[in-house]
Amino acid sequence: MRTSVVTPYCCYLRVYEPLGAFPARERTSWEAQVRVPERPETSSLAVAEQRESLAALLPMLPPGAVSRARRAYAMEVGGNLLLCPDESALRVRQALGDLMMSLPEHVLRVLLPAGGLDRVDFDALSEDMCPPDAEPHILTARWHVPLAWFVIFGDEDRSIGMDPVELRYRAPMVEARRRLSRAHRLLTRARPEWEMEPLRTLGRWIESFHPHSWVELDYGGLVRLMGSERITADRSARDVAAALQAVAKGDDEEAIGIYHRLRKQWWELREKERAS
């Protein structure tokens, strides 16, 4: 019996690069894959991605857990094709590396039984599939949207779909970089004691891609937690912009008030993780 896998309670920050940004040997195969009449929808690609993620949660990464099939999300802007490879091998390898670096040895022994790493299919995570200096085209967050991500979008970039239910922001890379740079300069000048690393990390990530790319924030499976009324009412990018404007005017009380409201809003959603 085959069980169904629904879109996970994750959101995704994706970068879509123009076809010319990819090595010549990859362009033909990518173009042939995505220029088909029945191109897979974003939601179906996310479910395929989730199946691999579930396999990767096993105490050991078995052979075949990470597909060698190349998948990509696609977007057309002004007749130009832009692609966002899912790069499952790169993302699993980075997640495994982060796990091993961040957890104490005694905790790793519980998560990875004796000899568990010996059975990991490292061939699937090889250098030719994911070079060590590569940046993934997709960032993922579970049960919430990191507030720093909203800095690179405006309220005008927001779109809602109802069949299926979707909430997305899309912005050209040049605009995303401009907004992020402006916010970082403002906060560094006005509030240097505030934590800036999330903005710096985000800035380093988007700077690694082609300047003619587009950036997309997809609420993904979070929409199933939020409900239609909350989806319609959510204007987090506008609220983050209002908080930054308050800082620029020297109204710290207003800025902090907006920040705490946003934190509370997303924390209420994250609390559902503990109840699940």
Instruction: Flag the least confident range among 67-81, 117-131, 251-265.
Output: 117-131
Contact 240, 199 (CB under 8 A): no
Q: CB 12: neighbour CB atoms within 10 A?
A: 24
Distance between CA atoms of 2 and 145, rounded to whole angstroms?
31
Both tokens of 119, joined, read: 């059975």
Q: At what angle do helices 197-206 and 173-190 cross, to 10 degrees?
A: 150
Is the pLDDT higher at 66 or at 71? 71
Give the per-residue pLDDT at 7: 63
- Closest to 225 in 3D by CA, of 271, 258, 178: 271
Least confident of 119-123, 142-146, 245-249: 119-123
Give the number of other Cβ atoms within 10 Å of residue 128's Cβ. Answer: 6
Q: Which CA distances in Å does 209 have to 15, 34, 215?
A: 8, 20, 10
- Name the least confident of 45-54, 96-105, 138-147, 171-180: 45-54
Top pLDDT among 92 and 118 is at 92
pLDDT in tens, 163-212: 788 999 999 999 999 999 999 999 999 999 989 999 999 999 999 999 99
The confidence score (pLDDT) of residue 123 equals: 52
Record the tokens describing residue 33, joined without a space: 């894959």
| 3-class DSSP state of 127 | coil
Element (H, E) at 234: none
- Would you state the pLDDT for residue 86? 84
For residue 105, what are the β-bridge partners? none
User: Is the entire prediction scored with pTM above 0.75?
Assistant: yes
Dihedral over alpha carbons 223, 12, 70, 171 (to 10 degrees): 110
Q: Which residues contact 87 (CB under 8 A, 6 or more apart)?
A: 130, 134, 136, 137, 138
Give the per-residue pLDDT at 2: 43
Residue 131 has pLDDT above 50, yes or no: yes
CA distances from 259 to 94, 145, 272 (A): 31, 14, 21
What is residue 215's three-state secondary structure?
strand
Q: What is the pLDDT of residue 57?
A: 43
pLDDT above 80: residue 3? no
Region 94-120: what's the mean pLDDT? 58
Model confidence at 271, in pLDDT bands (50, 70, 90)? confident
CB contact at 8 A, 206 and 180: yes
Mean pLDDT to the nearest integer, 139-146: 91
All residues at 6 or more sequence positions from 22 whose CB lies less than 8 Å from its CB, including other chains: 30, 83
Contact by Cβ (8 Å): 12, 138: yes
Residues 6 or more apart whose CB falls under 8 angstroms from that of 276 comprise: none
Q: Give per-residue pLDDT as tens, 7-46.
A: 678 899 999 999 888 888 777 777 776 665 555 555 555 5
- Higher-pLDDT residue of 167, 51: 167
Per-residue pLDDT of 212-256, as tens digits, reads 999 999 999 899 889 888 999 999 999 999 999 999 999 999 999
Percent of the chain with pLDDT over 70: 65
The type of residue at 270 is R
Give pLDDT, residue 54.
44
How confident is the model at residue 120, as a pLDDT?
53
Question: Quick one: pLDDT at residue 107?
Answer: 63
Cα torsion angle, 249, 253, 259, 265, sign: negative
Q: Identify the residue whose tokens are 């993904």.
A: 220
DSSP letter (8 states) at residue 122: G
Average pLDDT of every residue of the chain: 79
